[in-house]
Amino acid sequence: MEWKLALVPIPVSDVERAKQFYNERVGFAVDFDIRLDDGVRIVQLTPPGSDCSIVLGAGDGVTPVRPGSVQGVQLVVPDVAAARGELLARGVPVGPVQHVENGALTDGPGGVWNSFVYFSDPDGNGWAVQEGPADPADQ
C-alpha cells in the first residue's frame, strides 16, 4: 500500500496576507479559496511540481496550532542557487546557500542532497529548500 502525503496545514494570523505571500512571492499555485458557513476560510496552495499541498488557516478552523510554529517544512529542487535567486527576485528574504559539513551548516554549495537555503513566511513559519539530483537515477 502506498501512503502519500497530501496536505500540510500552515497556521497563519492573516489568511489573505499568507495567500499573497505563498502565491505571489513564493510561486505556489492557488488550488482553491473558500469560506465555510461558520466563517472559516480555507486556502489550499501547491508548490510547482508537487503532489503535496499546503492549507492556510487562522484560528481553530484549519489547525489549532499557533501561527509561526511550523518549522522545517522542506521543499526539494534540482538547483538550490537558482531557487534562491527566484525567491530573492520575488522579494522573499532568504538566507545564503549553505551545506552540511561535519554535522554543521556552513556557507557555500555542497554535494547532492547537501545544499540548503532557508526562508520564513510573514508569521515565522520556517521553510527549508534542499537541492536534490535533477535526474531521479542519481538519487
Q: Is 94 exposed, middle or buried (0-12, 13-18, 19+ CB in 10 A)?
A: buried
Q: How remote is the C-alpha of 51 from its chain's centroid?
A: 13
| pTM reported for the whole predicted model | 0.89
pLDDT 10s digits, 103-135: 787 877 776 778 999 999 999 999 999 998 876
pLDDT of res. 18: 96
pLDDT 10s digits, 67-103: 999 999 999 999 999 999 999 999 999 999 999 877 7
pLDDT 10s digits, 17-53: 999 999 999 999 999 998 887 778 889 999 999 999 9
> Hey, what domains does the chain have and what are their CATH numbers?
7-61 (3.10.180.10), 71-138 (3.10.180.10)
